A = this chain, B = another copy of it.
Amino acid sequence: MERIQLHDDLQFSRIIHGHWRLADWNYTGQQTLGLLEQCLELGITTIDTASIYGKYTCEELFGNALSLKPELRGKIEIVTKCGIKLANDENSFRLNHYDSSKEHIIESTERSLTKLRTDYIDVLLIHRPDVLTNPEEVAEAFSSLKKDGKVKHFGVSNFLPSQVNMLEAYLDVPLVTNQVELSVMYRDHFENGVVDQCIEKKMPPMAWSPLNRGAVFNNQEENPSRVRSTLQKVAEELGTSTIDEVMYAWLMHHPANIMPIAGSGKIERIQSAVNSISLQMNREQWYEIWVSSRGKDVD
């Protein structure tokens, strides 16, 4: 599978496997390991998780699976995230909030390492832009984690350009990615400067919710219906029967080197994402989908 260069010594597989709903799949450790091995066979080496996924359980579920075959650690890249504190039964928080303090970043990462049963994270992301971001503290936390070999690279998620610029002004390491929502049905970041900045800074974006949580499949409103028709038409032209492949291909045809996160626990669905890489969408088909989604012709 095509690999995307994020830094001199860092590559991701074009398709990334997402563990957002890993806890919902109710897999045994052996089953989770099996899914990982199937992903690896498809060329998917990059795993996306986060401290809070599955109410703080997904990292551990994956770590347990990985511990059944520790030699796989060197063959994969693990992306995890810190910076959100969920109110739940185990802690005393009254409400969900963000925390990008030095203390939290380091503590959260230590917990991630323990749960993931690994001694390093390939890429650590700040999960959401904390309004209280003190970039000096973030810089200190990143430097400390890097110096200790606990994290190799750093990035952000859901950051706007002004937030990336603000943080980067204080860091002595580059941000290697911005993980944002991107899909046929969610065009905001193509229009508000986020994707422009990713290209400008050679910081390939990871795309979450690349299928828009299935809205385009089920939603009967006017806009999704119109987009679905267009996707079906293009699917026929490209010789595939599934519109989710077209949705993945649409993201990957964009020159920003977008890396879609396939968040399914079923290997057939993941296979579908991989298949989409070989679809040869042309520029006109891409714009037909764009125009269908925005509901009006280009100017």
Contact = CB atoms under 8 A, between A and B. Distances in A.
Contacts of A132: 253-255, 283, 286-287
Given A95-B297, A298-B98, A200 B166 contact: yes
B163 A97 contact: no
Contacts of A192: 162
B158 A299 contact: yes
Contact of A193 (B93, B135, B162): B162
How many copies the complex holds: the figure is: 3
Interface residues of A, number: 44
Nearest to A129: B196
A288 B128 CA distance: 17
A196 B166 contact: yes
Interface string A63-101: 000000000000000000000010000000111111101
| Closest 10 pairs between A and B when the two form their complex, measured CB to CB | A162-B193, A97-B287, A134-B255, A162-B196, A166-B196, A166-B200, A169-B200, A166-B199, A165-B200, A96-B298
Interface of A: 85, 93-99, 101, 128, 131-135, 158, 160-163, 165-166, 169, 190, 192-193, 196-197, 199-201, 253-255, 283-284, 286-288, 290-291, 297-299
